Amino acid sequence: MKQLRNILLVDDEEDFLETTSRRLRRRSFEVRTAARCAEAVTEVLSGWPHVVVLDVMLPDTDGMECLRRIKEVAPHLPVVMLTGHASLQASVWGLEHGASDYCLKPIELDELVEKIIIAHKETGAPS
**What is the DSSP track for 93-124?**
HHHHTT-SEEEESS--HHHHHHHHHHHHHHTT
Where on the phi/psi map is residue 80: left (φ > 0), alpha (ψ -120 to 50), or beta?
beta
Domains present along the chain, CATH in parentheses: 6-122 (3.40.50.2300)
Average pLDDT, the chain: 91
* pLDDT for res 97: 87
SS3 content of the chain, % helix, strand, coil (to 5): 45, 20, 35
Rounded to whole angstroms, how far apart are CA atoms 2 and 122? 13
Q: Is the pLDDT at 94 greater than 70, yes or no?
A: yes
For the entire predicted model, the pTM comes to 0.93
Residue 26 pLDDT class (50, 70, 90 cuts):
very high
